[in-house]
Every structure is written in structure tokens, then in C-alpha cells.
Amino acid sequence: GDVAVLVPAAGAGVRLGPGGPKALRLLGGEPLLVHAVRRLAAATSVHTVVVAAPAADVIAVRELLAPVAPVTVVPGGAERQASVAAALAAVPVGPEIVLVHDAARALTPPELVESVAAAVRSGHDAVIPVLPVVDTVKEVGAGERVLGTVDRSALRAVQTPQGFRRSVLSTAHAAATDPLTDDAGLVEKLGVPVVCVPGSEYALKITRPFDLALAEHLLTVGG
Ligand code: CTP
Ligand code: MG
């Protein structure tokens, strides 16, 4: 394998409601992070996995993941971007392709990991998995008044894993000023082209209780 995967898993999970850090919340009796790391490790290109865990849970997460796959666990930061930067700093010399993958996308199929890695390997500096936007999207101003309707055909909903040539991701993080919600956004600011590949509905981000219920169902029917 020529790929390192960084797994930001240090978030609180506020939108999921009370119950502890989201990556450690249970899905089918196992933490979301275990599901995510097991699927990453099943992708044959993956050589190294570095998890950014909540600082208070680093040792517990090491013990949790030891039977799942060989992983490095580091303390995350206050923002997702800081967690990714902490994980990136722990990647050993070797892998020249680096993927960044949310622990919250626990049911992401190994095939999607391989397809993003393959697109980077084929020569793209930055690759993101996307889905078409299905809802009509409107821009709204003060007082919830509609300002206009956005052309949906030009929009994409963005998932992870996002894949990068290692040097490009390092440069993007070193140049970062304001925190963004994804890594491709930092690369865009460098003016480096970012290309899209087809995402997967199974790579949904478990954000709200509805998403966790959906993931439980998908797991039951063989997700
Ligand atoms: N994440 C992280 N470090 C942070 C914040 C987020 O590593 N300081 C990770 C989360 O653990 C998650 C991924 O980034 O795997 C995507 O973030 P999100 O879905 O927003 O998770 P949370 O921040 O935990 O959820 P919320 O925003 O509802 O609190
Ligand atoms: Mg968050």
C-alpha cells in the first residue's frame, strides 16, 4: 500500500445529542470509529492509518483499535482542521498519497477509498468524492426572505475520503489561516485543481440522530 489515511475523530458530536464523543458512539454495538477504521483497513492500498482522537480518550482509542488494525492515535484539536494537521504530522516517511476521512462516515465502502486513491495515483493532486444535490437550493437573506434559486446542476455534495498528493496537502495545511470544514478547500486556496469522482450514499456523514438511525438500518440490511 502507498496510501496513508488520516481519520479526524476528535469531535464532540453536539448535533447527535448527549452521549459522549461521536466517534465513540455505538452503531450495531460497536463505536463508529471501529466501523470506519475496519473499512479503511480492508482497502488494500492503505498502508498507514492515523487517528486524531479526543485528547482525553487517546489511550482508550489505542486499545479499542488495536484488535481492528495497526493504527497510530494522536490527540486531536479544537477544530477539525487542527485534528487533521495533528494526524498529518504523525505520518511516517513513505506514503506519497494521503487521504483524509471522517470517522463519522462510518459505513464508507473500501471501494470508495480505492477509487479516490486510484484517482490521485493516476496524476490528480486533489480528489473528492461527490454526489449530485437532489433538493432545490435557495439563497436566503434577512427575515428568511428568499433571494434567489441556485442552479442545482452546478452543485455537488462533498464527502470523504478526500485524497491528495502528500506534498500538496502539507503545503495547504501549512498555508491555512481560517479553519475550513474540508481539506480540499485549503487546496483550492492554493489554486491547485481539485477533481471530483463519484461518491457513495453509504459514505453519508452521521451528523444527526436521523443519520444514526439510517446507519443502523443500513448495517442491518448489509451495509
Ligand atoms: N472532528 C475532529 N476534531 C474536531 C472536530 C471534528 O477530529 N475538533 C472530526 C469529527 O470527529 C468527525 C469529522 O471531524 O469525524 C467531521 O466532523 P463533524 O461531523 O462535524 O463531527 P463533530 O464535530 O463531532 O459533530 P458536531 O459538529 O455535531 O459537534
Ligand atoms: Mg463538527
Indicate the domain borders of the chain: 3-129+157-220
A 10 A CB-CB count for 27 gives 20
Q: Are 113 and 40 in contact (CB under 8 A)?
A: yes
Q: Are 87 and 6 in contact (CB under 8 A)?
A: yes
Q: Are 72 and 40 in contact (CB under 8 A)?
A: no
User: How far, in Å, CA of 198 to CA of 125, rounded?
Assistant: 17
A 10 A CB-CB count for 139 gives 9
Q: Tell me the pLDDT of the chain (223 aa) as tens digits.
A: 899 999 999 999 999 999 999 999 999 999 999 999 999 999 999 999 999 999 999 999 999 999 999 999 999 999 999 999 999 999 999 999 999 999 999 999 999 999 999 999 999 999 999 999 999 999 999 999 999 999 999 999 999 999 999 999 999 999 998 888 999 999 999 999 999 999 999 999 999 999 999 999 999 997 5
| Model pLDDT, residue 109 | 98
Ligand 2 center to residue 25 CA distance, Å? 15
Q: Chain-centre distance of CA 119, in angstroms?
A: 17
User: How far, in Å, CA of 159 to CA of 157, rounded?
Assistant: 7
**Domain 3-129+157-220 fold:** Spore Coat Polysaccharide Biosynthesis Protein SpsA; Chain A (3.90.550)
From 5, 7, 22, the mutation candidate for ligand 1 (largest count of ligand atoms within 8 A of CB) is 22
